[in-house]
Structure 1
Amino acid sequence: MKLLFVCSRNQWRSRTAEDLFKNRSGIEVRSAGTEPSARIRVTAKLIDWADLILVMEKRHWQRLSERFPNETADKNFDILDIPDEYGYMDPELVEMLEVAVGPYLIG
């Protein structure tokens, strides 16, 4: 399974998620941000690559679907509802990600 994690700047939340799950067996992981200033920006190619897109907030999915309507039309996604108040690898953020993403990794 190919997972794409998306937040605003690809600095804290989505980057933490990528680093947290990238060495798990059976999955490939990438991360990106929706903002022009993002460390890695979301592209149509990244969206096409992903089997599942996990966004941190509803606004991220709204931005993706507005910017890439064709690529997101039939794409599997979920909104994790993780606010932008955590630093990179913050223990609370790591725990939230484990709980939210864990069900997708079973099987």
Structure 2
Amino acid sequence: MTRALFICSRNRLRSPTAEEVFCHWRDVETDSAGLAPDAVTIVSDEQIAWAQIIFVMERTHKSKLAKKFGSRLQGKKVICLDIPDRYSFMQPELIALLEQKVAKFLRP
């Protein structure tokens, strides 16, 4: 079972979409969070410890994550998907982009 954590800014559009899309994949467990103070779910130490692979939507997310969690990211694969904040929740174009960029990391 692969545990994948999806992170965006406010955990309202991109990361919850990814969580929903990939939670139905065989042998994949998902969670999502945001890095902004007003995120629906703010990324926690527990989520970082739980995740085997962490997907961030933008490069700025990766640097904020490193700044906030530092050494707790050691041994974790952190992947930047380069998906801008211009999609709505479950938008078909966002789903297609996520599947295209994430699938290679979650397939055996």
TM range (shorter): over 0.9
Match of 1:55 in 2: 56
Shift of 1:23: 1.5
Match of 1:28 in 2: 29
Q: TM-score when scaled to structure 2?
A: 0.96
Match of 2:67 in 1: 66
Structure 1 residue ranges, 4+ long, deviating more than 6 angstroms after superposition: none
Identity between Structure 1 and Structure 2 (%): 41
The letter for the 2-side match of 1:7 is C
Deviations 1:6-60 (A, max 9, x none): 0000000000000011121101000000001000110111011000000000111
Shift of 1:106: 1.8
Distance (whole Å) between structure 1 residues aligned to residue 90 and residue 101 of structure 2:
15
**Residue 76 (str. 1) matches residue 70 (str. 2):** no
Shift of 1:75: 1.5
Distance (whole Å) between structure 2 residues aligned to residue 65 and residue 50 of structure 1:
15
Match of 1:95 in 2: 96
Distance (whole Å) between structure 2 residues aligned to residue 74 and residue 59 of structure 1:
20
Shift of 1:5: 0.3
